[in-house]
Amino acid sequence: MPRVNRTAVLSLLIVSSSVFLLFQLYYYRKYVSKVSYNVCKQQKTLRKNNREMQKAHKSTVKNFLALAQRFRLPVFLVDTAALTLLSQDALRQHDWLVRELHCSFLCTGRPITSFALHANQWKYNSGFLLAAEQKGFELLEFRGEDPRLASLDTLSGEEIPLHFLFRLHGYIIQVVFLYERSGNYLWHGALRLRGNMNRNFAPFKQLDYGRDAGVYDRPDLVLTVLDGLDVRVPRNISRFLSEQRHARFLECRYRDARNFLQLYPEDSSPAAVDFRRKVKSLLHLATQTLARLNIPFWLSSGTCLGWFRQCSIISYSRDVDIGIFVVDFRSDIITAFTEAGLTLKHKFGKVEDSLELSFLNDDVKLDIFFFYEEGDIVWNGGTQAKSGRKFKYIFPRFSLCWAELLELKVRVPCETLDYLMANYGASWSVPVRTWDWKSSPSNVQENGVWPLAEWAELIQVY
Ligand SMILES: *[C@@H]1O[C@H](CO)[C@@H](O)[C@H](O)[C@H]1NC(C)=O
């Protein structure tokens, strides 16, 4: 009995496990084919959605460009994503969707396309806005004070258009208004949402333009065909894109400057007026010379303080101070300045340590301080010629912004106040006429003495 039973149980076990195995096999096949069917379906939907999105994007741009053309608004493409694709060109031609829809450059995957417009070519045109509305565009308009009217004499300017956002099919066309400034460059304002504006109108964080005010040299434009549409683009796209990355502009603080000048009126003696004229021409010369060498510089020490505190130069300062990162040093800098008509007055230190150049032009001194980056600080050196003593001036790290001084586009540290506070302490806003560069600055440190044997090389006075 037990023996028979054992055989029966064994057979039963074999049969049932076979059935189970078959079932598993069957289920597995069914399940897998279902999954892969789903994946396929998902991909199809994705492609379909993608196609719809690209169609909508392209149609928005196309509609907008048609309008701009009809109303003779010479907008040009400044969209960083589209321009980047354009500068990489051939790479995207392989994408099947790109080929199918013919939208290689304008369909960037972002729901925004940005254009710029020279503001002097914009006349407030209700016809244009009406036509846009009829095409289904919604408009959000950003206005702000006209900075070209702001100066030490007048403060509040009239309001001007700064940015337009047009929306159609969920896609945004940003129009950035560029204004000609007195320093012969183009400026756009910051885009700021005001109280009652629709905060969901656009993905504001993704906009290329408007986080800050920005400035540009006037770009050379070319008309080209992109994805079958006539579009103006900057001729040198890589130059434009690199300008765009460092375009942030700081307006002078006219209100504070005016308060300062009420307390401490500007010196209007002929000598002071003459000095300002000379500084202006020296600063122009320095800007041109360094631009030719492709060396970025910024206003430093007293010249920076003059810009920040009084939107002008400090007439008793007697010199112009600029900073250059030592990594940007080029050995032909001295020749370039002497060829521009300046005379070398002294050269202290060396590229590896505390380099400082000083030139003279029309009895105004141009001091060029080279800055060294070290961890989270930046420093420049000083040398006392007669004793060989070295000094070190320490600043917190900073980035560079554009600003305007004496009708010139120049750079200043973006964190201007931190920079000036490091140099002049908390009382930077109070004029100090007697200033000792070895002891007055808040950030000066003694830094040893140059070895006597090296003086001839490291302390050159002309
Ligand atoms: C574009 O600009 C860059 C940077 O300013 C320059 O090096 C380059 O030569 C320019 N290209 C053309 C084709 O002009």
Q: What is the pLDDT of residues 291-346, one digit of tens each?
A: 999 999 999 999 999 999 999 999 888 899 999 999 999 999 999 999 999 999 99
- The closest residue, in CA terms, to atom 10 on ligand 1 is 236
| Structure token pair of residue 184 | 């012969």
Alpha helices in 293-394 (DSSP H): 301-310, 333-339
Distance from the alpha carbon of residue 107 to the mean position of ligand 1, in angstroms? 26
- Ligand 1 atom nearest to 294, measured from its CA: 5
DSSP string, 88-101: HGGGGGG-HHHHHH
Distance from the alpha carbon of residue 293 to the mean position of ligand 1, in angstroms? 14
Residue 76 has pLDDT above 80, yes or no: yes
Strands (E), 375-455: 377-383, 389-396, 400-405, 408-413, 444-449
> What is the distance between the alpha carbons of residues 426 and 428, in angstroms, rounded to a whole number?
6
Residue 2 has pLDDT above 60, yes or no: no
Q: What are the two backbone dihedrals, phi and then psi, of residue 129, each rounded to the nearest 5 degrees?
A: -70, -35
Taking the CB of residue 135, how many other CB atoms lie within 10 A of it? 14
Mean pLDDT of 30-59: 76
Distance from the alpha carbon of residue 217 to the mean position of ligand 1, in angstroms? 14
- Ligand 1 atom nearest to 236, measured from its CA: 1
- Across the strands, what pairs with 393? 380, 444
> What is the distance between the alpha carbons of residues 316 and 79, in angstroms, rounded to a whole number?
46
> What is the distance between the alpha carbons of residues 247 and 209, in angstroms, rounded to a whole number?
10
Best residue among 238, 246, 295 to mutate for probing ligand 1's pocket (most ligand atoms within 8 Å of CB) is: 238
- The closest residue, in CA terms, to atom 2 on ligand 1 is 239
pLDDT score, position 279: 95
> What is the distance between the alpha carbons of residues 191 and 143, in angstroms, rounded to a whole number?
8
> What is the distance between the alpha carbons of residues 157 and 160, in angstroms, rounded to a whole number?
9
- The closest residue, in CA terms, to atom 14 on ligand 1 is 236
Place of tokens 């130069």: 313
Distance from the alpha carbon of residue 235 to the mean position of ligand 1, in angstroms? 9
Distance from the alpha carbon of residue 236 to the mean position of ligand 1, in angstroms? 6
254-461 fold: Beta Polymerase; domain 2 (3.30.460)
| Structure token pair of residue 398 | 């900073």
Q: Is the dihedral of CA 127, 131, 132, 137 positive or negative?
A: positive
- The closest residue, in CA terms, to atom 12 on ligand 1 is 236
| Structure token pair of residue 301 | 């020490």
Ligand 1 touching residue 87 (CB < 6 A): no
**Three-class DSSP category at 3:** helix
- Cα three-residue angle 260-266-267, rounded to 5 degrees: 150
Residue 32 has pLDDT above 80, yes or no: no
pLDDT score, position 149: 78
Residue 1 has pLDDT above 50, yes or no: no
Ligand 1 touching residue 236 (CB < 6 A): yes
Mean pLDDT of 273-294: 95
| Residue predicted with more confidence, 316 or 358 | 358
- The closest residue, in CA terms, to atom 5 on ligand 1 is 239
pLDDT score, position 93: 52
Task: Please give the DSSP secondary-structure letter assigned to residue 274.
Answer: H
Q: What are the two backbone dihedrals, phi and then psi, of residue 198, each rounded to the nearest 5 degrees?
A: -75, 110
Distance from the alpha carbon of residue 330 to the mean position of ligand 1, in angstroms? 20
Place of tokens 């939208």: 103
Among 219, 277, 276, 267, residue whose Cα is nearest residue 78: 219
Distance from the alpha carbon of residue 237 to the mean position of ligand 1, in angstroms? 9
**Three-class DSSP category at 283:** helix
Distance from the alpha carbon of residue 245 to the mean position of ligand 1, in angstroms? 16
Best residue among 89, 217, 236, 294 to mutate for probing ligand 1's pocket (most ligand atoms within 8 Å of CB) is: 236
Ligand 1 touching residue 239 (CB < 6 A): yes
DSSP string, 42-90: HHHHHHHHHHHHHHHHHHHHHHHHHHHHHTT---EE--HHHHHHHHHGG
pLDDT score, position 403: 97
Percentage of residues in the chain having pLDDT higher than 70: 92
Percentage of residues in the chain having pLDDT higher than 90: 69
49-245 fold: Beta Polymerase; domain 2 (3.30.460)
* Interval 376-415: pLDDT, tens: 999 999 999 999 999 999 999 999 999 999 999 999 999 9
Residues of the chain within CATH 3.30.460 domain(s) are 49-245, 254-461
pLDDT score, position 248: 98
Residue 83 has pLDDT above 90, yes or no: yes
Beta strand pairing call for 171-181 and 185-188: antiparallel
Q: Is the pTM of this model over 0.75?
A: yes
Residue 263 has pLDDT above 90, yes or no: yes
Report residue 98's pLDDT band, with 50, 70 and 90 as the boundaries: low
Distance from the alpha carbon of residue 289 to the mean position of ligand 1, in angstroms? 18
- The closest residue, in CA terms, to atom 13 on ligand 1 is 236
Ligand 1 touching residue 238 (CB < 6 A): yes
Mean pLDDT of 437-452: 92
Mean pLDDT of the chain: 90
pLDDT score, position 436: 87
